[in-house]
């Protein structure tokens, strides 16, 4: 990994950004067409918004879809935030899927202290896309379908912060 990227990652970490998902992208196995196929699973606060933008900016990454789940903010805000990021990046063609509306394994916790009540710092956006842009297919079904359509080529990325000891991790799964 290049020196400037390491310095940039260190600077971002020092500025209390949760984690740097872009460190993942060089490790994603390329598809037959040369692009690295990525499926992101997010609870879109500012950290995941940054990760989405970095994935979109990577010339060697093809983002196949974004699945949303409750986390930093309620599921409707998560979906709206992902759509806001895609709109700003002029990438509204990327499908967004709604998933779990409550935590499945842990107690519900709020990320409002870090991300604002809407998940993106409570910055108003009157021109934000509406939820009608979200696909009707459930996120879990979408993951299964997308992975089956690209066997052995898809990397699913999930960014996570442990709310108890503030450790950050990026979970990846190769399919």
Report how far residue 87's alpha carbon sits from residue 157's, in angstroms, rounded to the nearest whole number: 21
Is 125 designated active site? no
d(CA 96, CA 33): 23
Task: Out of 43, 47, 48, 118, pick the active-site residue.
Answer: 43
Cα separation, 174 vs 158, whole angstroms: 12
Within the chain, residue ranges assigned H as helices are: 3-14, 46-57, 75-88, 112-115, 139-149
Residue 42 corresponds to which tokens in the numbers above? 């997010």
How far apart are the C-alpha atoms of 12 and 103, rounded to whole Å? 28
Q: Catalytic residues, which ones?
A: 43
């Amino acid at each position: 990994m290049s020196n400037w990227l390491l310095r940039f990652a260190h600077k971002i970490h020092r500025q209390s950004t949760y984690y740097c998902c872009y460190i993942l992208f060089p490790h994603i196995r390329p598809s037959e067409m040369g692009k690295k196929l990525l499926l992101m699973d997010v609870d879109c606060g500012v950290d995941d918004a940054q990760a989405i933008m970095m994935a979109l900016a990577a010339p060697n990454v093809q983002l196949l879809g974004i699945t949303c789940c409750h986390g930093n903010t309620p599921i409707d805000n998560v979906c709206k935030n992902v759509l806001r990021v895609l709109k700003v990046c002029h990438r509204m063609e990327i499908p967004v899927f709604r998933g779990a509306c409550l935590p499945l394994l842990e107690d519900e916790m709020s990320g409002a202290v870090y991300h604002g009540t809407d998940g993106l710092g409570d910055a108003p956006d009157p021109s934000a896309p509406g939820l009608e842009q979200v696909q009707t297919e459930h996120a879990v079904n979408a993951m299964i379908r997308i992975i089956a359509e690209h066997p052995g080529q898809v990397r699913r990325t999930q960014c996570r912060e442990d709310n108890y000891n503030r450790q950050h991790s990026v979970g990846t799964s190769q399919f």
